[in-house]
Structure 1
Amino acid sequence: MLPPEPILPVPEPKQVEWQQMETYAFIHFGLNTFNDREWGYGDTDPKTFNPTNLDCEQWAQTLVKAGMKGVILTAKHHDGFCLWPFEGTDYSVKNSPWKNGQGNVVKELSEACKKYGLKFAVYLSPWDRHQANYGTPEYLPYFYAQLHDLLTNYGPVFEVWFDGANGGDGWYGGAKDIRTIDRKNYYNYPRIYEMLDSIQPQAIIFSDGGPGCRWVGNEKGFAGATNWSFLRKGEVHPGYDKSYELQYGHPDGNQWVPAECDVSIRPGWFYHPEEDDRVKSPDQLVDLYYRSVGHNATLLLNFPVDRRGLIHPVDSANAVRFHEMIQQQLKTNLVAGMTPKVSNERGGDFVASALTDDNFDTYWATEDGVTTADIEFSFDTPTRMNRMMLQEYIPLGQRVKAFVVEYLDKDTWLPVKLNEETTTIGYKRLLRFETVETKGIRIRITDARGPLCLSNVGVYDAGNVSDSFVEKVEDIESVPYLLPDVKAEETAKASDKQAQTTCFVEGDRLLIDLQEERLVSSLHFLPDQGEPNKGLIANYEIRVGTSKDAVNQLVKSGEFSNIQNNPVMQSVFFTPVKARYIELKATRMIRAGEPMGFAELRVK
């Protein structure tokens, strides 16, 4: 019996192998770590990079214990500082006091990965806020040389990560400037892809639109429950203005570009001491696993290495516990080795017993023309269950468009209770549903793009766990305030501890009245959390005063780095000052002309 014909698009073998990694780590580390920044301007002295106890083996051992299969290192972030002694610039570790300028973080981590069985990969920012010639044709040979150096001297890499953030403010060559580029064409990505294919053909290329894997459209760590591994070729590029589509893919896409869910274990990507008590809990990480790996994507979990050069113990403990919880919840497949009753099967090697043999490369398939089917498991006694795993055999394409899961209640089939739609499956779909005790469970596939090809089914009892977890708005203790120039009903939305409500303020200035003179030292706000997010402030100035007519003492200015992709709580700290009035001025918006948006607003 012949297998079903592939339904295009289909993945390359290296894309299948990449997706089977499921979870791997990001490491953000560099000058920003020592300067309390998210996006450095490229103006910081390399001498500030001086970890006291950098230990890449500690990183690797931690990641192995946390179930990570590989690690991606930020070899160069937007500030242009290189974590390896690249000969083309002095802006690197060779001009830092760390190891008297003889250190090489890229080399040390690549060697630690080999020792502990992790795959290694690199992040190289195309944007460079330090290079004087960024934005000109002369910058490109420099960037290509960096990439070539990383690809030829540190062993195999499983992925190369190109950030979509490109162009803007920086200290280019020591002078403050704004450089704008054509993000779609400036870097000549076809040439870059040729270089990668010739040197590291096994590497997956990440960018907003792939071609190896795509950004999932947010930095919150989840994909849509409906998630196609397709994009329309040539449509998505850095700066794509419909990034929310990337959570779901393009159902009519003609190129295989699966989603990668990047998220930091802390609010920021780089280490900030004030975030030591804001590390994502094991429960939060478990939730993200189900909504990333369990939504036909991979999970890229970031660890901000601290100023010692170590993964912080809280981050380590929470990540390891998260892995243990996932292992426990999906430990015993209740249908392992069982042969389910199916409404149709192709025959030959493509029979129902392949669904429970724990082998991805064997699969059950239906006959040509059959795009709906039932898969039914029976138990001798009532059996408790609340988790399910489904896998399609994706080398032949992603097919399933809709399905339902039902359990047997006496003699009646009823749908299990879950909180998301059951549409696509792809490489892996994990379902969490309300616990049932039953003698029967079945999957009914109701729509597909062609004959069905499923490789694995798993049914589990995760124990007495709560699936009602919802991340709460960070509750920062705040001093009382009024927004005198904002309507009362809008003001209330900024202090109701509800992330879903947003106070929108017209114009470029927000005035905060503390009602009396107080000592203040920080301002915090959660941006709008809608999709897409509205009213995002890119650059700001904060002024204070004791009179409403004289709020003119500048206490802080800067940028809310990466706010568009990672709209978490923004915290601005300044030297404590007595004031009654605080003015936040947006000197630049992400989208010009929009009112400023504040889901929550705090002053301390």
Structure 2
Amino acid sequence: MKLLTLSVALSATSLLFSCASKHVEAPQPVYPIPEAKQVEWQKMETYAFIHFGLNTFNDREWGYGDSDPKTFNPKKLDCEQWAQTLVKAGMKGVILTAKHHDGFCLWPFEGTEYSVKNSPWKDGKGNVVKELAEACRKYGLKFAVYLSPWDRHQANYGTPEYLPYFYAQLRDLLTNYGDVFEVWFDGANGGDGWYGGAKDMRTIDRKNYYNYPKIYEMLDSIQPQAIVFSDGGPGCRWVGNENGFAGATNWSFLRKGEVYPGYPRYYELQYGHEDGNQWVAAECDVSIRPGWFYHPEEDSLVKTPEQLVDLYYRSVGHNATLLLNFPVDRNGLIHPIDSANAVKFHEMILQELKTNLVAGMTPKVSNERGGDFVASALTDDNFDTYWATEDSVTTADIEFTFPKAQRMNRMLLQEYIPLGQRVKSFVVEYKDGDQWLPVRMNEETTTIGYKRLLRFESVNSTAIRIRITDSRGPLCLSSIGVYDAGEKADEGVAATTRKIESLPFTLAEVDKEEAVKASDKDEKTVCMVKGDKILIDLGSEQMISSFHYLPNQDRTAGGMALTYELRVGNEPTAVNKLVKSGEFSNIINNPILQSVYFTPVKARYFEFRAPRIQGAEKVLGIAEVGVCK
């Protein structure tokens, strides 16, 4: 009896030791790593921007701060219509431009008269911020605010006296409208335009003027869950363009303290800093229309569902988030074209990624850490479970085999980013007979991060594998998906270039070979003119009423006209009648077609002069130009 008891005891002890030996430690983090709120923010993936204000009613992008508040009168404004539209379009939240650069406040801020309280809308008793915050709570959207640090209405902008005013606006928005998921600080914050309504130039120290450390302390004390957006974060970063895409190589890191609002090497932000020591993932902001605010003439230029799908793959699918702007119209509604296209875009994404062909499968892997970190975690539809390799293993193969050939053309890959971003390069291959061949795609396979979505030419195969060829540490992958997006999956996205239908013209005093580039309907060819002006000869006197200028699309090349003066005349030596002057707002970040309309006038010669040009040299860059009736 004693021997039996001893035997049972030994067996139990042996079982305990056996169980204990199966415990496997999780991989150590590879720094930098995100805060928990940054992970939750990236899981939102797509959310909306709303640009709305005095600019909407005065046909401007960057108002000077001199538009009359009485022009703001959205008689049908319905924030619930906004929220319902965004939910149907798959958006998880919305960021409202509570105050843009013109200084007009969409809420009755006590510190200024330049707000909705002095508009005819709701007899001055309306509050757009409040109405949208309430609509978001009703329809399950997260809410956030954009507050422009730059203020072209405040005469004391650029002086120390402006800062308490700006801080008070921020505190008001953060205190009285519930939780916000993000606070958006625009990189356009002085040094490149007019201020104070008086159109006087004023330059600020972009890096230090606002005292951002003080602002971050305020945010942490009032809205600790909020992500802070700016060129350099610290919560998330601008992607370096307003076209809506990140680089295929996209690290979620920046070198701490190096990037600031107005950072001159903004093009780095599209890719991140591989050697960065701070987690600052990218946000891709883009408007569904060419402009950020509503302009009736852009009703025919809304991005198509297919174009939005392309941007989704190049933003969310490139380890970033997609912030899609909706310019609310003058009725106070999201325009039906914008709404229809956005909803269709969401439906198309859901359809393309509807069925994961490897769901529930356990792939064959070349290495496995064991314990909880096994290959089955890759297909269990749970972000918080993940497959990992042993500490010394930084390369691996992951192979899926099907009982019969499958058509495949999409793939999803996710790293478990709470432990860091690791993968530096990988390849995707399919089996053709006894051979493994690479799938064909139009981008490099380098980083993964939170999410990588791949589009490749359709293959029919019984097996597909991912070969991770380099990494910053042992591998930690959360999810893999393989999809068939349908028969049209291999079709390209239609081109979006807008053509200028100009009157016939020649460019006087410009080399003929160079001049033809300004009217060849090809935005990739750029006419570079020494100096700050061009003279357009229409050949004979014509009635004209508009001028159109597409800048060079390479923002690093310089030569973009920042301001303009337009003059006409009937003799080449006397083109001196000024018909319009102003600025091309936000042109460097959003180099879209610039259209200037003026009172119709008869003239043969038309002069376009750019008093301020991007870059140190006086060279004017023109992709396309035209003068129209």
**13, 26, 30: which one aligns with 1:7:** 30
Q: TM-score when scaled to structure 2? A: 0.95
**408, 431, 442: which one aligns with 2:431:** 408
The answer for the alignment partner of 2:60 in structure 1 is 37
Residues 532 and 618, structure 2, Cα contact 8 Å, conserved in 1: no
**574, 577, 585: which one aligns with 1:553:** 577
Matched, 1:492 2:516: yes
Residues 555 and 588, structure 2, Cα contact 8 Å, conserved in 1: no
Q: CA separation in 1, counterparts of 2:206 and 2:577?
A: 38
SS at 1:459 equivalent:
strand
Following TM superposition, where does structure 1 have runs of at least 4 consecutive aligned residues deviating by more than 3 angstroms?
168-171
The answer for the alignment partner of 1:347 in structure 2 is 370
Matched, 1:157 2:184: no
Q: TM-score when scaled to structure 1? A: 0.99
SS at 2:556 equivalent:
coil
SS at 2:337 equivalent:
helix
Higher deviation after alignment, 579-588 or 206-215 = 579-588
Residues 534 and 594, structure 1, Cα contact 8 Å, conserved in 2: no
Change in Cα spacing, 1:343 to 1:256, as seen in structure 2 (3 Å) is same
What is the deviation of 1:523? 1.3
Residues 508 and 537, structure 2, Cα contact 8 Å, conserved in 1: yes
What is the deviation of 1:545? 1.2
Matched, 1:528 2:529: no
What is the deviation of 1:13? 0.3
Task: Letter of the 2:475 partner, please give it.
Answer: L
Instruction: Indicate the percent of aligned positions where both proteins have the same amino acid.
Output: 78
SS at 1:483 equivalent:
strand
Residues 15 and 204, structure 1, Cα contact 8 Å, conserved in 2: yes
Q: CA separation in 1, counterparts of 2:557 and 2:106?
A: 33
Matched, 1:584 2:608: yes
Partner deviation per Cα, 1:428-457 (whole Å, 9 max, x = no partner): 000000001100000000000000000000
Q: CA separation in 1, counterparts of 2:335 and 2:575?
A: 40
What is the deviation of 1:485? 1.5
Residues 130 and 170, structure 1, Cα contact 8 Å, conserved in 2: no
Identify unmatched segments of 5+ residues in structure 1. none
The answer for the alignment partner of 1:46 in structure 2 is 69
The answer for the alignment partner of 1:539 in structure 2 is 563
SS at 1:321 equivalent:
helix
What is the deviation of 1:533? 4.2
Residues 500 and 521, structure 2, Cα contact 8 Å, conserved in 1: no
SS at 2:611 equivalent:
strand
Root-mean-square deviation (CA), in Å?
Answer: 0.9
Change in Cα spacing, 1:494 to 1:261, as seen in structure 2 (3 Å) is same
What is the deviation of 1:589? 1.6
**577, 586, 600: which one aligns with 2:624:** 600
SS at 1:175 equivalent:
coil
**561, 564, 587: which one aligns with 2:588:** 564
Partner deviation per Cα, 1:108-133 (whole Å, 9 max, x = no partner): 00000000000000000000001111
Q: CA separation in 2, counterparts of 1:513 and 1:12?
A: 60
Matched, 1:298 2:321: yes
Q: CA separation in 2, counterparts of 1:548 and 1:108?
A: 56
**187, 192, 198: which one aligns with 1:175:** 198
Matched, 1:186 2:209: yes
What is the deviation of 1:45? 1.0
Q: CA separation in 2, counterparts of 1:169 and 1:241?
A: 16
Q: CA separation in 1, counterparts of 2:199 and 2:536?
A: 31
What is the deviation of 1:593? 2.1
Q: CA separation in 1, counterparts of 2:326 and 2:465?
A: 40
The answer for the alignment partner of 1:256 in structure 2 is 279
What is the deviation of 1:420? 0.2
Matched, 1:428 2:438: no
Partner deviation per Cα, 1:333-360 (whole Å, 9 max, x = no partner): 0000000000000000000000000110
Structure 1 segment 175-324 matched on structure 2, within 5 A: 175-324=198-347
Task: Letter of the 1:262 partner, please give it.
Answer: D
What is the deviation of 1:531? 4.7
SS at 1:588 equivalent:
coil
Matched, 1:60 2:86: no
Residues 541 and 556, structure 1, Cα contact 8 Å, conserved in 2: yes
Q: CA separation in 2, counterparts of 1:448 and 1:121?
A: 35
Q: CA separation in 2, counterparts of 1:256 and 1:388?
A: 25
Q: CA separation in 2, counterparts of 1:169 and 1:567?
A: 17
Q: CA separation in 1, counterparts of 2:557 and 2:306?
A: 26
Residues 42 and 170, structure 1, Cα contact 8 Å, conserved in 2: no
The answer for the alignment partner of 2:102 in structure 1 is 79
Q: CA separation in 1, counterparts of 2:545 and 2:500?
A: 13
What is the deviation of 1:550? 1.1
Q: CA separation in 1, counterparts of 2:519 and 2:356?
A: 46
Residues 183 and 239, structure 1, Cα contact 8 Å, conserved in 2: yes
What is the deviation of 1:476? 2.6
SS at 1:456 equivalent:
strand
Q: CA separation in 1, counterparts of 2:449 and 2:193?
A: 41
Q: CA separation in 2, counterparts of 1:123 and 1:101?
A: 22
Residues 151 and 195, structure 2, Cα contact 8 Å, conserved in 1: no
What is the deviation of 1:470? 4.9
What is the deviation of 1:137? 0.5
Task: Letter of the 1:85 partner, please give it.
Answer: P
Matched, 1:88 2:111: yes
Q: CA separation in 1, counterparts of 2:456 and 2:213?
A: 45
SS at 2:44 equivalent:
coil
What is the deviation of 1:472? 3.3
What is the deviation of 1:594? 3.9
SS at 2:539 equivalent:
strand
Structure 1 segment 375-524 matched on structure 2, within 5 A: 375-465=398-488, 466-524=490-548
